[in-house]
Each structure stands twice: as structure tokens, then as C-alpha cells.
Chains A and B, each alone.
Chain A
Amino acid sequence: MTREEQVKEVGRRAGARVVGIAAVEAFRAQVPEGYRPEDILPGARSVVVAGGDGPTAGAWRCPDHRVMEITGYDLRENVAVHAMCDFIETTLSYRAIQAPSLPVHGHEPPMSMMHAAELAGLGTRSLAAHIILNPEYGLLYYAALITTLPLEPDAPLAEPACPHPGCAAMYKRIGTTPCLRVCPACLAGKVNDGRIQESTYDREKCHSRAQTYGIGSFQKGLLQIVNEDDPERRRTMIYGDFFTKSLQSLGFFRDSIAQCFECMRVCPVGRKYRKLQ
């Protein structure tokens, strides 16, 4: 087994659906200084990216959207990253760190997992919120590690996963695609000759949907509460469903991770894995 295969096998056994490798140099083209793997770990040579499953097929079929609001994630790709980091440090004696991916200033993380997934050949950007779609599995969640271990990188995908041929045909017919049609509030785009010609994404509006109950809603609710002079109205705000759910999502982080799946629900990429008995 090559070293690359060894590392990937450790990741897959730990629960990753897919594993890919990118060279640190590849990040320089589009990533501003301060956010590149080599800015984070001196001597970094490679970034290994793990993609983990999203909601189960059964969860997608639930008519109550609240279910997926609080069960979307099992963070398996992070477990895979830890397993690979341990392997790289203890067995191969190279430095490895879990890439810091949680936001540290507002909505900005220190490193983009989406971009890492693209460069590691695990998927391409889509019309739907620029989510990285794996051509086989569709929506996956990504985590990465940065290491001083030199590894042969995988190439970015030559063929984009989006648009799906069905979506390209739909665009030709009626000028829209399933994701653009379901969520025009956050998404806009154009398809030409089976390729994305233009695509825009309103992240802040999407935030109100993808994290309806979370840190942001808590802040907004709290500001409203402190600005309310009437004690009775304040009381109803504090104890109301919205603020209560916002607090709950702070207490149980899994409740806050991802709360809107509508653009992905209608996406045909990877849908075959959601057809079960």
C-alpha cells in the first residue's frame, strides 16, 4: 500500500465516505494570506480532506423540517480526521493537525473546508449555495487535516458535478433549476451549454435559514429583549418559542449546525443513495 492509500484507508475505516489529498501550494491561487494551510502549520506539505455523510435517507423523507434542523450532522468526518492525524503523528512521525474550521471572527473560519474539498478532488461548487457536490454522493460534509507529510495530491475534478444533466435540461426548458426555483431568496444563477455561467449566493439570508436557531438568532433576540421597555413584552420574548429554541441550540450544538436543506432536497446529484425501501 502506498502512503497515500494507507492514510486514506485509516480515514475511511474511521467513517469517512471519501478521502482526498491536496498540496498546500494549490491553496495559494485563491486563498488570501493568513488563511492558507502553510500559514497555519509551518512546513505544511499536504492537506488531507475527509467527506462524511449528511442526513440519512430516512431523515430526508420526514415531512417535519424540524427533525433535520436538529439531526443533520454526526460529525463523522471529524472523527476520520482525528484518526488520520493520530496515524500520521504516531506511526509516520510527521506533524499533523486538524485544520481549524470553526468561525473565529463572525462567519469567517481560519480555513475553508469547501475549498480544500475542491482542491482534493472530492467535489465541485454548485449553484446551490456553492455547496461542494461530490459527483457520486452529492452533499457531504468536509473536514481536513494539515500535515508536514509529503503526499501525492489528487487532482481537482475535471468535470463539474453541477449542473446535473437533468438540471441543465430543465434550465434550457424553463430557465431555472430545482435549487434555484426552490430558493430564489438566497440563490441566483445561469446555466449555459451545460455549465454554470453565473452564480450568486446571499450567505447572510441563507444564515437566517441554515441557522435559524443559533448564535445569530440568540444575538438578535437578545438585542430585541434588552431594547424592549415593556416588561410584559420582554417576558413573552424571553420565554417564547423562538428565544427558547435559540438557547437550546447553544446548549446542544448539534441543534445549531445546519437547519435548512431545501436546495439539497431537490438536488438530483447523489439522489440514488436516498432511494431505499
Chain B
Amino acid sequence: MANLPPNATATLKSVALKSGALVCGVADAAVFAARAPEKQRPDDLLPGARSVVVVGGAQPREGDWAATSPWVLQTMGTTERIQGVGRRLAQYIESELGYYALYVPPGTASGDTPFLSLMLAAELAGLGSKSLAGPVLNRDHGFMYWSAVITTAPLEADRLEAEPACPAPPCREMWEREGTTPCLKTCPSSDGGCLSGKLENGRAVRTFYDAARCNTRVHTHWVGGFQKVLEETLNEPDRDRRKMLLYGDFFTRSLWAITYSSTNIAQCFECMRVCPAAHGLKEMK
């Protein structure tokens, strides 16, 4: 059985950063049991798993957040750039360290269920913490995309982030003043949105998240919309109206999203756009 060379974890992280990740962390596979449901734990995917390596990066650029055209963030998704790093690390672990490695597929096992929660993995690898709006935010880099590799290699695990990025100081002040925060105000469940929550002792506590509604926003044009229009078309007795449905803007755009991954990755960023911890952490001109 292979043994890890000295500084293996540090070297692996260096490879990750050189490959394009902004951050790289390691979580102990065993700690997932307390928070991940059955069948979504590292050991369910790779028996004998000891570590989960997580990389973050490929997030929208500052220019993307500043763009006034909604099509920029909706159609030029960049998450696949971090997926390539994950794959590379899996290959590196196996070829250079001699341990099994499994690149966690970013898709879903069935329905909306992931193979392994990449957000949870990022938290447990000390790379960020869950925000009031939902996404895991890193203190230095804000909102990022994640990729993970499960491995039997006994790497050194990182600690959880001590201080969460959320709530950011402006959000705490807003809560004191108005009893809400930018993300909750932008997308309130009380007014047809997805979120509600509160700040308690300086910590964000999410009290409600309408995942199904969020899905209609994050994946407006995707498989779900396609299925709905198809159902309506099949139920439509008038042939002219069927044509209006199948050739119409919504269905056409949904097909584009099905075909081109950059157009389907995420189609709503509004809770993150207003978040002072998600981006704008670097001075730009």
C-alpha cells in the first residue's frame, strides 16, 4: 500500500492553485456523516474514502457583476473552468500519490439530488461558510464555484472557517436599521421570492428557502421548462397554438440552455449581486 510522501497535502494544494483554483482545502471524509444524508457521503461514492479535496474558483468576474445586461451572467457561465481543475487533481492523486481518487460529478444523481453536496464539502474543507442567501462564501474571494475529489489518501484536513463571511458588516447594520438584509430584501419569500431568515447574535440563520421557486429562477430555461412546455403542447388541441408553443421564445431559449452548458449553469444571481461579501472585494477600475 502506497504511503504519502512528506508535504503531500501542501504539494497537492500547490498543484491545484497552479491548475487554476483560487483556493484548495481538504475535509476529513468521516465528518460528512453528521451533516450529509445517506447516499450522499464520500464513502457511498468511494468505499474506503478518507479525504475530500475541494477546490474553488472560476467565479463570475467583477465585470460580470457590474454588467447591466442580464444575458451576461445567464449565458456565459464559467463553472466548468473549475471542473477541469477537479478532474486534473483526481488524475494527479492517482498517478503521483498512488491512492484512489474519484472526481465528484457536478450533475445530479436523480431529480435535483447531487451525488455529494459541493457546498457542504467546501464548508467542511474550511473554504467558506453558508450565507443567509444559501451559497457558501469565502472570506477572501466571496462567491465561487466548487469542485471536489474524494480519495482514499489520508491527507491533512483543514479546520472549519472560524469567522463566517456572512453577515458582512453592512448587512449587520442594515439588519439593525430595517430588520432585513440585501439578499432577503431582494428575494423575500413573503413577496413571491425564495428567502427568509434572520441575524441572531451576529450569525445568519436561514429560516426558509423555497428550493422549487429558486429552481424556476436559477434554471428558468432548462429541463424543467422544457418538460412543462412539452406537456402543455401535448395537451393543446389547436395545431396553430402548438406551433406557437414549440417555436416560441421560451422553448427556443430552453433548447439553447439544454445544448450549451454555459447558458444553463445558473440564470439568477440576484441574491449574490446585492451581497457585499460575494464580490467587489477587490478594488477595480
Contact = CB atoms under 8 A, between A and B. Distances in A.
Do A and B share a direct contact in the complex (Cβ within 8 angstroms)? yes
Interface of A: 39-43, 82, 85-86, 89, 93-98, 100, 102-106, 110, 146-149, 214-215, 218-219, 222-223, 226-227, 249-251, 253, 256
Contacts of A40: 67-69, 71-72
Interface residues of B, number: 39
Contact of B259 (A41, A95, A105, A215): A215
A95 B253 contact: no
Contacts, number: 112
Contacts of A98: 72, 76
B284 A95 contact: yes
B67 A97 contact: yes
A95 B247 contact: no
B117 to A, nearest CB: 26
Nearest to B233: A226
A228 to B, nearest CB: 11
Given A102-B263, A105-B253, A85 B63 contact: yes
B67 A219 contact: no
B249 interface: yes
Contact of A100 (B62, B66, B72): B72
Contacts of B284: 89, 93-95, 148
A223 B66 CA distance: 40
A28 to B, nearest CB: 16
Nearest to A146: B63
B246 A219 contact: yes
Contact of B256 (A39, A42, A43, A215): A215
9 contacts: A41-B63, A89-B62, A95-B61, A100-B71, A102-B260, A102-B263, A104-B74, A226-B233, A256-B259
Sorted nearest first, the 10 A-B pairs with minimum C-beta distance are A95-B63, A97-B63, A40-B69, A215-B255, A100-B71, A110-B71, A98-B76, A96-B63, A253-B259, A94-B285
A89 B246 CA distance: 41
Chain A binding surface SS class: mixed
A223 B243 contact: yes
Contact of A110 (B69, B81, B233, B234): B69
B242 interface: yes
Contacts of B258: 250
A89 to B, nearest CB: 5
B140 interface: no
B242 A96 contact: no
A41 B67 contact: yes
Nearest to A252: B259
Contacts of B260: 102, 253
B11 interface: no
B282 interface: yes
Given A250-B259, A253-B260, A41 B68 contact: yes
A101 to B, nearest CB: 8
A250 B222 CA distance: 12
B239 interface: yes
A100 B267 CA distance: 14
B120 to A, nearest CB: 28
B256 A103 contact: yes
A16 B55 CA distance: 28
Given A39-B68, A42-B66, A93 B262 contact: no
Nearest to B282: A93
Contacts of A226: 233-234, 242, 246
Nearest to B255: A215
Given A105-B252, A219-B252, A253-B260, 14 more contacts: A41-B72, A42-B68, A89-B284, A95-B284, A97-B76, A98-B72, A104-B71, A106-B249, A214-B259, A218-B255, A219-B246, A219-B247, A223-B242, A256-B259
